[in-house]
């Protein structure tokens, strides 16, 4: 099973070979990736062999991972503050009744899901880093505007716009990460920026506690000030991303030409390209006929139902155990610690041992146990057990980063990859739409059906993940022996051509 990573390991040292000329290789009519054009222009670069890949990776990590981490932290915080605002008086201040709060939480993800379709086009035609920075800035403005809400309808509008602008976060970060790292290197980097979710959970509790002690007159309650402050912080991070995150490795001012050549040769093993602006509609058709896309979609939907529960209702569930609003906010902070632990575990686990499918299932098991504790223990007599269950369910957030990494590692072709990234991100939104809707006012205060939904969907995700693993094994066997991989093939224009994983018969799926 380790053969699918052999070529990546070889790429760590094979960065100094001579690059064959454009005319030496039969290039598909699809065109050539921008990375090949750069390599072709710098074919005579001296000193590439002296580049230390470990040092170069650390340099890249320092420049791009912190910005991605901050973006992901704020996208979670800006969504989860609704969770905390619910225990800070938002429902009373805006006169929310019945399922109004669930609907507000749901329609944020409806906006996110609906904009995934046009997002596919923008990710293909606009540099992902610029598109990300612009949207982070705009959703920061939408978050701040939520403070002006005075009834159900105005709050709903602000959250829908938040969802629209957040639609690009997952696909953009996936595509950006795939430009800079090989498949096995991507997993821990995905985990690094995904740690923003766990940090957001921890900070969210502390921020909520702090703003519950702040108010400016009757019109600016604590939750309103919280919306404004976090919105402004997001705008600053969005502008920083727009101006400081390079569009591609070729445009990184802090890399020398030799470093760029070494990096491009290093990541060429992915056979997924760096950047191509040509939109190919036939790749959309291929994606719609690709079984892996549907298995990824279904797995992420099932996984994300629990994520929707965690994001929107964890503070409410803790408060229903008998805690005050302030204490409920603080008691939710360990959820972030659980998220961070499992995210780091799977990130480094995949880097060392691969087997993405096994790590996903390993995280789902404690989440199922958590769902069982939440569902079957009496909330009146077993506070500690139920609380432990709420915390354990957070293990389920870690596999999402592996599904993201799986998507960009196993889908090739610029248009197809942008489409797949948007579809997988959209399926996360769909799961988060379903999750809050399992909480119906008639089921309060125990919300037993919602807790049972956590267990069922996680078990389903484990099953579909295993089927996806079997599909990749079968697909690789159909393609024959990949042991003939060599540097000449990796350095050829054929690797950089915008072929899809189906068109490129030398492509091997990672699992």
> What confidence score (pLDDT) does residue 91 get?
86
Confidence at residue 487, expressed as pLDDT on a 0 to 100 scale: 46
Output the pLDDT for position 321: 80
One DSSP character per residue, 236-271 reads HHHHHHHHHS-SSGGG-TTS-HHHHHHHHHHHGGG-
d(CA 316, CA 390) in angstroms, rounded, equals: 11
Alpha-carbon distance 432 to 107, whole Å? 10
Q: Report how many helices (DSSP H) and strands (DSSP E) the chain contains, helices first.
A: 22, 0
pLDDT in the model for residue 62: 93
CA distance linking residue 2 with residue 293, whole number of Å: 23
Question: Residue 433: which residues within 8 A CB-CB, separation 6 or more?
Answer: 106, 109, 110, 113, 308
134-189 tens-digit pLDDT: 999 999 999 999 998 889 999 999 999 999 999 898 889 888 888 888 887 887 88
pLDDT of residue 22: 40
* Low pLDDT (below 50) residues in the chain: 1-30, 483-488, 490
Tokens 């060392």, located at residue = 352
Separation CA 211–CA 383 (nearest Å): 26
pTM for this prediction = 0.76
How far is residue 379's CA from residue 402's CA, in Å, rounded to a whole number? 33
| Count of C-beta atoms within a 10 Å radius of residue 402 | 26
d(CA 313, CA 450): 10
- Domain 33-275+289-496 architecture: Up-down Bundle (1.20)
Predicted local confidence at residue 281, as pLDDT: 84
Identify the pLDDT of residue 293. Answer: 94
Q: At what angle do helices 398-410 and 356-376 cross, to 10 degrees?
A: 150
Angle at 324 between CA 323 and CA 327, to 5 degrees: 80
What pLDDT is stored for residue 265 in this prediction? Answer: 83
Residue 39 CA to residue 75 CA, distance in Å, equals: 36
* pLDDT tens string 328-351: 777 878 888 888 899 888 887 887
pLDDT of residue 144: 93
Hey, where are the domains in the chain?
Answer: 33-275+289-496
Alpha-carbon torsion 63, 67, 69, 72, what sign? negative
């Amino acid at each position: 099973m380790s053969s699918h990573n052999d070529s990546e390991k070889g790429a760590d040292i094979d960065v100094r070979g001579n690059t064959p000329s454009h005319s030496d290789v039969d290039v598909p009519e699809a065109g050539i990736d921008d990375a090949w054009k750069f390599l072709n222009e710098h074919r005579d670069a001296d000193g590439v062999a002296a580049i230390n890949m470990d040092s170069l990776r650390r340099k890249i990590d320092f420049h791009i991972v912190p910005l991605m981490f901050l973006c992901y932290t704020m996208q979670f915080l800006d969504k989860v503050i609704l969770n905390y605002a619910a225990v800070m008086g938002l429902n009373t201040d805006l006169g929310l009744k019945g399922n109004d709060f669930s609907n507000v939480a749901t329609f944020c993800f409806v906006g996110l899901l609906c904009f995934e379709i046009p997002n596919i086009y923008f990710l293909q035609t606009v540099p992902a880093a610029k598109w990300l920075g612009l949207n982070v800035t705009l959703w920061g403005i939408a978050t701040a505007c939520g403070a002006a809400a005075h009834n159900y309808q105005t709050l709903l509008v602000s959250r829908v716009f938040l969802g629209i602008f957040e639609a690009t976060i997952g696909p953009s970060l996936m595509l950006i990460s795939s430009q800079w790292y090989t498949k096995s290197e991507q997993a821990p980097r995905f985990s690094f920026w995904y740690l923003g979710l766990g940090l957001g959970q921890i900070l969210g509790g502390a921020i909520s506690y702090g703003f519950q002690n702040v108010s400016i007159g009757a019109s600016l309650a604590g939750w309103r000030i919280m919306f404004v402050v976090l919105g402004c912080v997001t705008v600053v991070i969005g502008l920083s991303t727009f101006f400081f995150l390079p569009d591609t490795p070729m445009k990184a001012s802090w890399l020398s030409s030799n470093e760029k050549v070494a990096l491009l040769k290093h990541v060429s093993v992915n056979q997924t390209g760096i950047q191509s602006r040509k939109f190919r509609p036939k790749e959309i058709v291929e994606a719609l006929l690709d079984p892996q896309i549907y298995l990824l979609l279904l797995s992420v939907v099932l996984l994300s139902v629990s994520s929707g529960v965690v994001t929107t209702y964890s503070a409410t569930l803790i408060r229903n155990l008998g805690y005050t609003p302030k204490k409920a906010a603080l008691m939710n902070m360990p959820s972030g610690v659980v998220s961070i632990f499992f995210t780091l575990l799977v990130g480094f686990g995949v880097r060392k041992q691969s087997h993405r499918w096994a790590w996903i299932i390993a995280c789902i098991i404690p989440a199922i146990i958590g769902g069982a504790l939440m569902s079957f223990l009496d909330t009146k007599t077993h506070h500690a057990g139920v609380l432990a269950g709420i915390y354990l369910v957070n293990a389920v957030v870690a596999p999402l980063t592996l599904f993201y990494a799986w998507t960009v590692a196993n889908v090739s072709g610029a248009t197809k990859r942008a489409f797949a990234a948007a579809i997988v991100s959209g399926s996360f939104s769909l799961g988060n739409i379903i999750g809050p809707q399992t909480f119906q006012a008639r089921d309060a205060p125990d919300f037993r059906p919602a807790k049972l939904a956590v267990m069922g969907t996680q078990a389903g995700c484990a099953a579909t993940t295993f089927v996806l693993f079997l599909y990749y094994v079968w697909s690789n066997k159909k393609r024959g022996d990949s042991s003939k991989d060599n540097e000449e093939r990796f350095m050829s224009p054929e690797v950089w051509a915008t072929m899809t994983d189906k068109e490129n018969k030398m492509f091997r799926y990672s699992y």
